[in-house]
Structure 1
Amino acid sequence: MDLKQLEHFVAVAEERHFTRASRRLNLVQSGLSASIRSLEEDLGGPLFIRSTRRVDLTPAGEVLFDEARRVLAAARDARHAVTQVHGLARGRLSIGAIHSLAPFVDLPASLALFRAAFSGIDIQLTLDGSRALLDQVREGRLDLAFTQPPDALSDDLALRMFACEGMVVACATRHRLAGASELTLSDLGEETFADLRPDWSVRRLVDRSFAAAGLQRSIAFEVNDIPMLLELVAEGLAIAMVPESVAAERVRDTRGTPIATATFREREEPCWELAAVFKGSASEPVAPIARAFLDLLGLPDAAV
């Protein structure tokens, strides 16, 4: 049993889904499955109960989950301590992020932790679209960008995945799709959509999904703000496709008009991915300050 296997185990345990976990880890699914099987053999029994749509932890898996997170946190703390000894006393951390990062990473809180650990490091934050952020990383104006991974990664850039989750259909509570499951994209062909502007990566994912399926859709409302998008949905004016955690956050928000959700068949489910992109290799960013911040977040090295 090694740290890499524990990282793989925790990813599957958190995602409850091998496909999403493999995307999050940037690891082929067969490699992830082999790693989990090897861990189970080493520990003498199954860690997951596998079904067609999700996986759940066995009692042994529940015990290991808590211990694995504790061990990985201790390893991060150790790397962090060594980084401090090596001396990141002064410098600048330039970070970029897309606007829809909030449910996946609490960037303000993470930056506050980094500031507490490295008080001599100046922090600069830029919010922009995915394409602009990637260009700034390539040009050296950003050390790190939190964004949707590009379709093709250039040789001078690397990434670490930190989120991979399914998209759901958000709709009004009285809508015919409310609570539906096993949807396909073709089931949405007659619906009116609200969506974000074309420069948003969430919008590009939905556009690509419909194009790949050879389908068209009607977009009546185009906005530049997720809360407004969900307000239009809540009032029954349109439906929208959003990451599951974005919809869940709205469902929990008692201040706004409630929304409902509908889910896709597993094979039809578009996957919303987010990654930290930087110059260098997956295990060794060019900028030591960027490596220190990634270690603080606990993002695993990418695997092939």
Structure 2
Amino acid sequence: MELRHLRYFVAVADDLSITRAAERLNIAQPALSHQIKSLEQEVGTILLQRLSRGVALTEPGRAFADDARAVLAAVDAAKARARRIASGDVGQIRIGFTSSASFHPLVTGAIRDYRRAYPDVQVELLEETTASLLAAFRAGRVDVAFMRPGEGEVDDLWARHLFDEPMVAALPATHRLAAETGPVGLADLSGEGFIVYPRRNGRALYDGIMAACAAAGFSPQIAQNAPQLASVVNLVATGIAVAIVPRSMARLATEGVRYRSILGPAPVAPMTLVRHPAPEMPHARIFTDLVLARVRGEAGEGSDASAAE
């Protein structure tokens, strides 16, 4: 039994006339009569009672017509849903981001804009380290991500550099330099202990901090490793050491922490948008287009969404 047989029968059931149904279906009346008889033979019972004028549905015919309409409606709904998924209107997208990325307004704004534009797409958010996000891509657990990869780490993926975010010094509120205004020189922190984000979690941030300190003439004394940048800031609040963090982390208004911009060339935290080179579904491509349009828009406006004291 084919779907066209169901459509033919429903047309006849609606019109109660093979002649009118044949005209509406744009097929010859004898051909339609033959298709209905073949359908009755396949079902195993008479579905239509032939009258002198038109036809009438038998009891089995009425039940079959109701079920046929339900089947055709389900098929039409399935086709419509498939088209909406193919166009990116429904479905699912898995968006990853590093903990520091979640504090940047471009990242949060892009996710908000996407939710508003595609309310029927289920958005799954995954907060991980850069190293864990790279592993998630390899395992197929994430579709697109905001991360800070090191050189060569995303060569096998689609990647677009979004911006270089300046980094700032995060100081305990009791620190000798915390009450001052203006930038602080990295060399002024040469004797301090540093809380750092481990290199195994993100090479770009770690290497950038180490290179900047080396350019300032010292190698930082690592007092503590912390798995997330939010944890870095919270540990600074305890007073045990200082840290260098992306400027958007200043949005984390942690009691006991003061942020100072860095004098001279400051280390930067690059932000990169990453996805699979050829995603099967369009959601990741649509999202990346939205992000890139937002970046171009903000660049045109000359906006700067985060600042340190």
TM-score bucket (shorter structure): 0.5 to 0.7
Q: Which amino acid aligns with 1:262?
A: R
| Equivalence for 1:276 | 273
CA shift for structure 1 position 210: 3.9
Contact conserved, 1:160 with 1:299, CA < 8 A, in 2?
no
CA shift for structure 1 position 177: 2.6
Q: Which amino acid aligns with 1:194?
A: I
Task: Normalising by structure 1, report the TM-score.
Answer: 0.56
Deviations 1:242-299 (A, max 9, x none): 112212x24xx3xx534333333333x101111111233xxx8775211211233334
| Equivalence for 2:262 | 264
| Equivalence for 1:296 | 290
Alignment of 1:24-35 (within 5 A): none
- Tell me, in whole angstroms, the C-alpha distance in 1 between the residues paired with 2:140 and 2:197: 29
Deviations 1:96-143 (A, max 9, x none): 211222221476665454344334433333222212322433554422
Contact conserved, 1:114 with 1:293, CA < 8 A, in 2?
yes
SS of the residue aligned with 2:100?
helix
SS of the residue aligned with 2:103?
coil
- Tell me, in whole angstroms, the C-alpha distance in 1 between the residues paired with 2:189 and 2:144: 37
| Equivalence for 2:117 | 117
| Equivalence for 2:191 | 190
**Structure 1: where are the runs of 5+ without partners?**
1-82
RMSD of equivalent CA atoms: 3.6
Alignment of 1:125-204 (within 5 A): 125-138=125-138, 140-152=140-152, 154-178=154-178, 179=180, 183-201=184-202, 202-204=205-207
Q: How many residues end up aligned between the 2 structures?
A: 210
- Tell me, in whole angstroms, the C-alpha distance in 2 between the residues paired with 1:266 and 1:286: 45
For residues 117 and 240 of structure 1, do their structure 2 counterparts lie closer, same or farther at Cα, with a shift above 3 Å needed? same
For residues 109 and 165 of structure 1, do their structure 2 counterparts lie closer, same or farther at Cα, with a shift above 3 Å needed? closer
SS of the residue aligned with 1:266?
coil
- Tell me, in whole angstroms, the C-alpha distance in 1 between the residues paired with 2:238 and 2:154: 43
Contact conserved, 1:194 with 1:222, CA < 8 A, in 2?
yes
For residues 233 and 122 of structure 1, do their structure 2 counterparts lie closer, same or farther at Cα, with a shift above 3 Å needed? closer
| Equivalence for 2:67 | none
Residue in structure 1 matching 2:241, options 238, 242, 245: 238
Percent of aligned pairs with the same residue? 28
Contact conserved, 1:91 with 1:120, CA < 8 A, in 2?
yes
- Tell me, in whole angstroms, the C-alpha distance in 1 between the residues paired with 2:103 and 2:154: 28
Contact conserved, 1:195 with 1:203, CA < 8 A, in 2?
yes
Deviations 1:151-179 (A, max 9, x none): 12554323223342211111134423333
Q: Which has the higher contact order (CA 8 A, sep 6+)?
A: 1
For residues 230 and 295 of structure 1, do their structure 2 counterparts lie closer, same or farther at Cα, with a shift above 3 Å needed? same
SS of the residue aligned with 1:246?
helix
**Structure 2: where are the runs of 5+ without partners?**
1-82, 297-309
Over alpha carbons, which structure has the higher Rg?
A: 2
Q: Which amino acid aligns with 2:221?
A: S
- Tell me, in whole angstroms, the C-alpha distance in 2 between the residues paired with 1:191 and 1:229: 15
Task: Normalising by structure 2, report the TM-score.
Answer: 0.55
- Tell me, in whole angstroms, the C-alpha distance in 2 between the residues paired with 1:85 and 1:91: 6
Q: Which amino acid aligns with 2:258?
A: A
SS of the residue aligned with 2:255?
coil
Residue in structure 2 matching 1:229, options 211, 223, 232: 232
| Equivalence for 1:43 | none
